[in-house]
Every structure is written in structure tokens, then in C-alpha cells.
């Protein structure tokens, strides 16, 4: 069945530059550039934590106008070492983004992030507000305990089958702390058992992402990819995404001047709308759009339409110096 968003987003495109940037003695991150090499720079911050970038994430932007930059965060996707959690925190990711901006010779850019990408975008903006021309945020996640409690416990009121599949491998006593149980299995169990646990963990979020049942994936990730993703995500969630001492709702005064759009699915079961509304309550300068017929996934038609409209409007809202050549 054709993806209904295919007619909404821009055509598929390939990067004209793919490279790796050493960001520490241990980590190197993979980044790519697509679209107009002299266009308005926009960087995509992927979700997860741990997911990595996908080719479809290039398609929310007019490639004739935008210099589109994607990168895989530490331990994610094509970055190396895959699944590595050492020297991997929100603070190191913030510095990686800034190091990449400097490496690419960019003065200011638009930051585009969904789910965990919205978390990282807000954290980066709080420290480097002068480097940001605009923010496009989707599916707000602020990494607070109540949000994680919703994801691991209360969602079962709406998706009991998915929750039952998640906890099926756990002993009854382990279900009292699902996060700790999966962390122990994925980090300390033999590899075959760790991979099995990672598959349970990853498939849970995938099964509650969309308003309507998701289409079966055509290409299943390898065991190594599944394990790396789960390792990075559990590492972050076990540590409160390293934001406990600097809650994101406390940093809005430093970024409220930045043009911003918040796009939120009404039936988002991963990151419920209440979080986006709380953010907007203290940041009324940002535009909030609640999409009435969508869940969490960026490629649901209503969400994809709103993201495209935002990137199109930002062409004039934060225009580059001189109109970039049309290619």
C-alpha cells in the first residue's frame, strides 16, 4: 500500500557529501549534506535517543532552497563505535552539534527535531541561542520522570496488547521496574539474550507510534542495529537524559526570542500533547499546532503536512543573506 505522505513530502534525494567528524578520542559522528550547497542551513536532530537518521528525513525540505544537514548522534546509525555509551551524554551531543556547525562554516542555522530530537534541540538552543535562526519541533519530549512513567506504564490503558508483548519476557517482579529490567538484560546478558530483549524494547515504541496501525516495515534492522539502538536509548533514559539538574522548562527565557513552531499529534501516545501544551504555556511566543488526526510519527499525513508548511514558511521568516540560487 502506498505511503499517503509520499505526495506531501519532497522527492527522495541523495546526499552530495557524506563524511565523519571526530568529536572525541573515542567517537566519530557521520554527517551528510543534501540539497542546495549555498542554501539556508537546516540541521535535523533525530529521535530515540539512539535511532539514527533515515533517508526520508531529507524530504521535509525544499532541496532547491535549503542546505540540509543530517547527522547520526554518538553511538547511533553510521557513527562509530555503534551502540557505545561511554562519553555519551546530552551535554556531549550539544557540543557535537556546535562542533559540526563550526566545521561546516555555518554562522546560524535552523534546528529541526522531533521527539528526542526536540529535547536535544531545546537543550542546544539554551546554550547556543545565538547560533539558531529558528526552531521546528515535533512531538515534544522534555525527559521528565512523569513522561517516562506514561510511556512505560500508563500507555497500556490504550495499547494493552503492545504493553503485554513488551513485558512478556520479564518476570513478575521485574515488571515493577521495566526500565531497569531491560537495561540489565541488554547490558549484562549474553548477546543472544540481549538481542532478544532489544527486539522487544524497540518494537514496543514502533507499535504505538501512529494513530492507525503501522504498515509492516519492508526492511528489518539487523540484530546489531537493534542492540545498538536499545543500548543508547536505555543509557539515556536510565540517566534522566542527563537533564535532571537543568529542566528544559527552566531555560525558555533564554530562547523565547527565537522563531519557533511546535507541531504535536493529538493522539500521540509516545509523547502526549500535555507536554507540548505545558511548553507552550511558558513559551507563548512559539506557535503551537495540534494536529487532530495524528499520533507521534513524522510521516503521518497531518504531521508531514504541518512540517512541510513550517519549512516553507521559514524560507521568508529567516531568509538567508541573498536568495540562494535555484538548482
Q: How far apart are CA 221 and CA 192, in angstroms?
A: 16
Q: How far apart are CA 54 and CA 70, in angstroms?
A: 9
- Does 183 qualify as catalytic in the annotation? no
pLDDT digits (tens, 9 = 90+) for 249-285: 999 999 999 999 999 999 999 999 999 999 999 999 9
pLDDT for the residue numbered 220: 80
Neighbours of 184 (CB within 10 A): 15
Pick the catalytic residue: 5, 72, 118, 268? 268
CB neighbour class for 222 (10 Å; exposed up to 12, middle 13-18, buried from 19): exposed
Residue 218 vs residue 155, higher pLDDT: 155
pLDDT for the residue numbered 128: 98
Contact 196, 165 (CB under 8 A): no
User: To the nearest whole number, what is the mean pLDDT of the chain?
Assistant: 94
The backbone torsions φ and ψ at residue 8, rounded to the nearest 5 degrees and listed phi first, read -100, -45
Please tell me whether residue 68 adopts helix, strand or coil conformation.
Answer: strand
Angle at 304 between CA 271 and CA 158, to 5 degrees: 35
What would the grid cell of residue 322 be? 541573498
Q: How far apart are CA 237 and CA 242, in angstroms?
A: 9
Nearest to 6, CA basis, from 302, 301, 312: 301
- Does 115 qualify as catalytic in the annotation? yes
Pick the catalytic residue: 51, 79, 115, 118? 115
Nearest to 227, CA basis, from 186, 271, 275: 186
pLDDT digits (tens, 9 = 90+) for 215-256: 776 678 899 999 999 999 999 999 999 998 899 999 999 999
pTM to 2 decimal places: 0.95
Sketch out the chain's domains with CATH numbers.
4-143+245-317 (3.40.50.1820), 146-241 (no CATH)
- Does 54 qualify as catalytic in the annotation? no
Pick the catalytic residue: 27, 200, 280, 296? 296
Nearest to 292, CA basis, from 263, 271, 319: 263
What would the grid cell of residue 228 be? 545498538
Q: How far apart are CA 292 and CA 100, in angstroms?
A: 36
Helix (H) or strand (E) holding 108: none
Beta pairing partners, 134:
110
Q: How confident is the model at residue 45 (pLDDT cuts 50, 70, 90)?
A: very high
Amino acid at each position: 500500500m502506498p505511503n499517503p505522505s509520499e505526495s506531501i513530502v519532497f522527492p527522495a534525494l541523495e546526499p552530495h557529501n557524506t563524511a565523519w567528524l571526530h568529536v572525541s578520542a573515542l567517537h566519530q559522528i557521520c554527517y551528510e549534506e543534501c540539497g542546495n550547497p549555498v542554501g539556508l542551513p537546516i540541521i535535523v536532530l533525530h529521535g530515540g535517543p539512539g535511532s539514527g537518521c533515515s533517508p526520508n528525513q531529507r524530504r521535509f525540505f525544499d532541496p532547491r532552497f535549503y542546505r540540509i544537514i543530517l547527522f547520526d548522534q554518538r553511538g547511533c546509525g553510521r557513527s562509530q563505535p555503534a551502540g557505545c555509551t561511554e562519553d555519551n551524554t546530552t551535554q556531549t551531543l550539544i557540543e557535537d552539534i556546535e562542533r559540526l556547525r563550526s566545521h561546516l562554516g555555518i554562522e546560524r542555522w535552523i534546528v529541526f527535531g522531533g521527539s528526542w530530537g526536540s529535547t536535544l534541540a531545546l537543550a542546544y538552543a539554551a546554550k547556543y541561542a545565538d547560533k539558531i535562526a529558528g526552531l521546528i519541533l515535533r512531538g515534544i519530549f522534555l525527559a521528565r520522570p512523569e513522561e517516562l512513567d506514561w510511556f512505560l506504564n500508563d500507555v497500556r490503558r490504550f495499547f494493552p496488547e503492545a504493553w503485554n508483548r513488551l513485558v512478556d519476557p520479564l518476570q513478575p517482579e521485574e515488571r515493577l521496574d521495566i526500565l531497569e529490567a531491560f537495561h540489565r538484560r541488554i547490558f549484562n546478558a549474553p548477546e543472544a539474550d540481549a538481542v532478544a530483549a532489544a527486539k522487544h524494547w524497540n518494537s514496543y515504541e514502533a507499535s504505538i507510534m501512529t494513530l492507525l496501525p503501522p504498515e509492516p516495515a519492508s526492511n528489518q534492522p539487523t540484530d546489531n542495529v537493534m542492540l545498538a539502538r536499545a543500548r543508547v536509548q536505555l543509557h539515556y533514559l536510565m540517566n534522566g537524559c542527563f537533564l535532571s539538574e537543568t529542566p528544559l522548562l527552566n531555560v525558555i527565557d533564554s530562547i523565547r526570542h527565537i522563531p519557533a513552531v511546535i507541531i504535536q499529534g493529538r493522539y500521540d501516545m509516545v509523547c502526549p500533547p500535555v507536554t507540548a501544551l505545558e511548553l507552550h504555556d511558558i513559551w507563548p511566543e512559539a506557535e503551537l499546532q495540534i494536529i487532530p488526526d495524528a499520533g507521534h510519527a513524522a510521516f503521518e499525513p497531518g504531521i508531514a503536512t504541518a512540517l512541510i508548511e513550517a519549512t516553507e514558511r521559514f524560507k521568508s521568516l529567516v531568509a538567508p543573506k541573498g536568495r540562494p540560487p535555484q538548482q
